[in-house]
Homo-oligomer: A and B are copies of this chain.
Amino acid sequence: MGNCAQGCKDYWCRPKNTNVRLSLPAVCFVWQIAMIILFGVFIRYDEESDTHWVEFRREHNISSDIENDFYFRYPSFQDVHVMIFVGFGFLMTFLKRYSFGGVGFNFLIASFGIQWALLMQGWFHSLDPNTGKITIGVESLINADFCVAGCLIAYGACLGKVSPVQLMVLTLFGVTLFAVEEYIILDLIHAKDAGGSMVIHTFGGYYGLAISWVLYRPNLHQSKRLNGSVYHSDVFAMIGTLFLWMFWPSFNSAITDHGDGQHRAAINTYLGLASTVLTTYAISSLSAKRGKLDMVHIQNATLAGGVAMGTAAEFMIQPYGSLIVGFCCGILSTLGYLVLSPFMEKTLKIQDTCGVHNLHAMPGVIGGVVGAITAAAATEDVYGHEGLVNTFDFEGSFVNRTVGTQGGHQAAGLCVAIVFGIGGGAIVGAILRLPIWGDPADDNCYDDEVYWELPEDEESIPPILEYNNHMVTKNPDMSESNFSVEQS
């Protein structure tokens, strides 16, 4: 027993081995081959992307090719696609020496996640019981991108502290949990959540926070020197911020109803985001000596309004309603960075690199609540009878649901998202604690050196010199380094 305990302790406490030369290729190859097999068995084109579309058009009296769903959704899809790969990717380049990992691992796990999401979401939402096939079209691609967004949010909480293999595992389970949670919220509970305040942001945020909590690193301060930005890495991160900010109206409107649904969702999100920016700048300036703005707030809190408009974007929340939501979110999210993040790190032992609690989890919850209230307050006066039915899909088995009930179900959906996020994250976090995934040691975090071949770089952080009365040049190749010191 003592031996066993000792053995266990040795096993868990042995020095970290960050060599992923076998594990990363193995995971990539095996899972990609699995994808190919599963796609071969299950996935086919839907009627709008199949060559039989010409017959389908004739049978359904569709007058023009322009009514193919492709033309309703493809521009929004591309905007969402940019948000996933450039938006999330570049937002995570802000660390001075983790830009490769930020944008590069985001690229890897998103590419894997969208494939797995097509399968998982397909099984739950569009498996044809007769043929046993899932058919996909442009809306499936958008939903796959959405699903992956949840995992990328979770990555934000763990940025710099996990290995790419861990991220692949995080994504595998994250997508799986997402599909189940989404099925419960959207199909069983029949809550509306077009832009995913609950389904994507609340879930993703808490999923990441719970993982980060389980993976708590008591000696992370040893990597403190790299847990910060440099001037140009902050500018790179603004690329991510702006592409997220600009395309968020597309995100929230991408899968809403054709016509007024998409139109209204875009307007509401546009307004909510504009309002958030002003209050973010205000609180950021108010909180600093001499009113100086902090790039962390500008890069992140300005987006909270888009998160919080996710559920209510397609409702008749009215333009001023969107402004109010954005107004509050800018304040709360910036205060989150100022007050909550340090508190969570110290007291709750949650190390949240990108502050996803302030940008996703909390605004997501706000969005869920706003959605519930707005739904409960809906009236036929404002929506019109048909409008009310269309907006809330009071059809089929939900034909008798009232707006009050709908509001309650929206709130129930929010709870499901939180439970799945925290519960799922705790379990996945435990799996990720196994000492087999190649994660870095506490004094080795936030460093691209661990997983990337880095170029010789004149911008690299210069080494601490120990000099004496002899000529010292740390780097013998002077043409590539910043300095030269000589003494006679």
Contact = CB atoms under 8 A, between A and B. Distances in A.
A394 interface: no
B85 A246 contact: yes
A271 B141 CA distance: 10
Given A44-B318, A111-B274, A267-B136, A55 B453 contact: no
12 contacts: A20-B291, A21-B286, A33-B327, A39-B320, A53-B259, A68-B262, A78-B79, A108-B281, A137-B267, A141-B266, A462-B482, A465-B478
A461 B484 contact: no
A49 B263 contact: yes
Contact of A51 (B141, B260, B462, B467): B260
A309 interface: no
Contacts of A50: 260, 264, 316, 387
A72 interface: yes
B66 A72 contact: yes
A270 B136 CA distance: 12
A433 B471 CA distance: 46
B260 A49 contact: yes
Contacts of A114: 270, 274
Interface in A55-73: 55, 57, 63-72
Interface string A308-347: 0000000010111001100100000000000000000000
Closest 9 CB pairs of A and B: A51-B387, A21-B291, A53-B260, A65-B259, A111-B277, A28-B282, A49-B263, A40-B320, A65-B258
A43 B112 contact: no
Contacts of A67: 64, 66
B25 A286 contact: yes
A235 B100 contact: yes
Given A278-B108, A319-B43, A390-B51, A295 B100 contact: yes
Interface in A18-62: 18-25, 28-29, 31-33, 35-37, 39-40, 43-45, 48-55, 57
Interface in A276-303: 277-279, 281-283, 285-286, 288-295, 298, 302
A15 interface: no
A34 B269 CA distance: 19
A402 B402 CA distance: 59
Contact of A283 (B25, B275, B453): B25
A406 to B, nearest CB: 15
A29 B280 CA distance: 10
- SS of A interface (majority): helix
A11 interface: no
Interface stretch (A222-230, A365-373, A417-425): A222-230
A452 B289 CA distance: 10
B242 A89 contact: yes
A99, A259, A277, A391, most chain B CB atoms within 10 A: A259
A52 B86 contact: no
Interface in A354-409: 382-384, 386-388, 390-391
Nearest to A235: B99
Tell me how many chains of this kind the complex includes.
Answer: 3
A58 to B, nearest CB: 9
A258 to B, nearest CB: 4
A32 B108 contact: no
A485 interface: yes
Interface in A73-122: 74-76, 78-79, 81-82, 85-86, 89-90, 93, 96-97, 99-100, 103-104, 107-108, 111-112, 114-115
A486 B483 contact: no
A372 to B, nearest CB: 19
Given A78-B75, A461-B479, A274 B68 contact: no
A383 B54 CA distance: 11
Contact of A292 (B64, B266, B451): B451
A236 interface: yes
Contacts of A487: 467, 469, 486-488
B457 A479 contact: no
